[in-house]
Amino acid sequence: AVLHLQKTITESGGKIFATNGKKADFNTTLQKCKEAGGSIAAPRNAGENDAVLYFVKTFNTYAYLGMKEYLIPGNFQFLDGTQLTYTNWYSNEPSGKGEEECVEMYTDGTWNDKRCNQNRLIVCQF
């Protein structure tokens, strides 16, 4: 497949972020990113958050991020189990109290906890 660079790849902090412009649920997003040789985008600072936000704004749709709520409601971690050192929660979020295990990015760059079965923009990092 030809790599289309226009509005589908951006870089921050040595990481490459990419999207195919398609939407999928959380588990499918994980699978698609893995198949591409990367992982789901998981911003660890404001610059990386902005890189993902670029796609969210370009496609005017929300995207899942590479973090989940584990055993303790309201306690979100990266998928490798490490704690979040950077967050950008929307006001009064996370609010799912264990019912919303995934994290999506809004079109303003803030985060919301969300059920994992919604279709959101696929954004991977490499």
What is the block-wise mean pLDDT of the chain (126 residues), using blocks of 10 residues?
Answer: 64 93 98 96 97 96 96 93 96 95 98 98 98
State the pLDDT at residue 5. 57
Q: What is the pLDDT of residue 1?
A: 41
Q: What is the DSSP string of 42-84?
A: ---SHHHHHHHHHHHHHTTS-EEEEEEE-SSTT-EEETTSPBP
User: Letter for the amino acid at 36?
Assistant: A
Which sign, positive or negative, has the C-alpha torsion 57, 7, 79, 32? positive
CA dihedral 67→20→109→87, nearest 10 degrees, is 20
Where are the domains positioned within the chain? 1-125
Q: Tell me if 23 sits within 8 A of 60, measured CB to CB.
A: no
Q: What is residue 15's predicted lDDT score, i.e. its pLDDT?
A: 94
107 contacts: CB under 8 Å, gap ≥ 6? 56, 57, 60, 61, 62
Pick the CATH number of 1-125 from 3.40.50.700, 3.10.20.520, 3.10.100.10, 3.30.300.30: 3.10.100.10
pTM value surpassing 0.85: yes
Cα–Cα distance, 53 to 47 (Å, whole number): 10
